Chains A and B, each alone.
Chain A
Amino acid sequence: MKDLINKLSKAYELSDVVYQRPNFTYATANKENVISLITQLRDLEGFSHFVLLSCVDWIEDNIFQLSYILNNPTQKYDLAIRCMIDRKEATMTSAHHLWEQIATYQRELKEMYGIEFPDSPRLNEDFILEGWDDIPPMRREFDTKKFSEETFFPRERPQSNDPATYMKNKMHPDEWDNTPSSKG
């Protein structure tokens, strides 16, 4: 598989190649090259099965990381193509023409992260959430606990005790004071 990565590296400027497992490799490509890269992988290199498209929010670096994971069924090999896109203008070229099911992943990413995929079918329809009018909930600036407390009538939770302190104060006060330091 290293031959393939070396071959693709010249054409597509792959970086951060990680040989994670004998049958699984990560590689990072530029945003502009990703679609042509996975097209070549599908049509010429035998990666005919699309596994998943997922997103990671790196809020500190101001980027979203998209991962396209492809599978080569004949060689039993997975290849994950990562690509970093800007968080403020989160837009990515749609890949639904390669595999139809990518459109569903893209709908989910639009709803959960607010990433735009122009021309992707049914992108703006509600997918999992219904009637959501706040910022996309999987973005890390969305404070889910605060939202829940403001929205869902939280019930007061019982105070939990630190087990060590509780034992010390309530259950075995004598035994706890028998340490050498407390005897002085």
Chain B
Amino acid sequence: MSEEKNIEQPSKQAKTFENPYYAKREVTGPDGQKFIVDPMKDYFSDECPTVHEPNSIPVVEKFLNWARAESLWVLGFGTGCGSIEIGPLLTPRFDAFRYGVMPRPTPRQSNVFIISGYLAVKTLKRVIRSYEQMPNPKYVLALGSCTINGGMYYDSYNTINRLDQYIPVDAYVAGCMPRPEALLAGFNKLKELIKAGKAENANEYAKNFDWYKANQKKIIKDWNMPDYNW
């Protein structure tokens, strides 16, 4: 391998990333009227997320937290290999429904995001979009060692090592892969945290929005979407 140093390094590619879907363009309406559409401004709100303060009356807040803990609606987005465990979890064999856990097809209807295993940078971009589209209060359950320290992909060029640098995580379920029973234990832990008022990470995300956004933009080079996706 001593000759390796003599080999010329290929130059890094200079690229610009633009999404044609978000380009500013002139559109002709049905009555022939022409107007300019700027999707980045017209289709999305550019307002940053805000902190939702807990209710000032402790008893009411406790009741709300109890109600939140009993309605965990999971976003059906399998990001990695761990999503294979979510199928049996929701079938009669393990029956997560008895814990108030049910799957939903879109981020707008769900409040729990299961990050099931490794995240490629490409997937992380979609995860961030989906997470930001979920309504408050929202919780993140991270599965497997990949979300904790990269797991067996710790030296991969394309999978992240620590999920909590990009979106806030409420509870981890360790293992490679965790079985459905472990996932149920994770859900019960998440319930405990919510009932104790400790699962306020959506607020942390709003407070440290700039820090999270800087971390996300550091690795997502083709950031061709709005900063905050309502």
A144-B155, A148-B155, A152-B162 known; A133 vs B148 contact (CB < 8 Å): no
Which residues of A sit under 8 angstroms from B223, Cβ to Cβ?
A: 131
Give residues of chain B (1-28) contacting chain A, Cβ–Cβ below 8 Å.
Answer: 1, 3-4, 7-15, 17
A181 CB → nearest B CB, Å? 39
Interface size on A, residues (CB 8 A): 31
Question: In the complex, which residue of chain A has the Cβ closest to the Cβ of B166?
Answer: A153
Query: Helix, strand, loop or mixed for chain B's interface?
Result: loop
Give residues of chain B (121-142) contacting chain A, Cβ–Cβ below 8 Å.
Answer: 121-122, 125
A114-B10, A133-B15 known; A154 vs B154 contact (CB < 8 Å): yes
With an 8 A cutoff between CB atoms, is B219 at the interface? yes
With an 8 A cutoff between CB atoms, is B157 at the interface? yes
B217 CB → nearest A CB, Å? 11
Instruction: Contact check, B155 vs A129: say whether CB atoms are below 8 A apart.
Output: no
A130 CB → nearest B CB, Å? 5
Instruction: Contact check, A155 vs B10: say whether CB atoms are below 8 A apart.
Output: no
Question: In the complex, which residue of chain B has the Cβ closest to the Cβ of A135?
Answer: B10
B221 touches which of A133, A148, A154 (Cβ 8 Å): A133
20 chain-A/chain-B pairs, Cβ below 8 angstroms: A59-B1, A88-B7, A129-B121, A129-B122, A130-B121, A131-B223, A132-B13, A133-B12, A133-B14, A134-B12, A134-B13, A137-B157, A141-B4, A141-B7, A144-B156, A148-B161, A152-B161, A154-B150, A155-B149, A157-B154
7 pairs of A and B residues whose beta carbons are closest in the complex: A131-B222, A131-B221, A145-B155, A155-B149, A152-B161, A144-B157, A137-B157
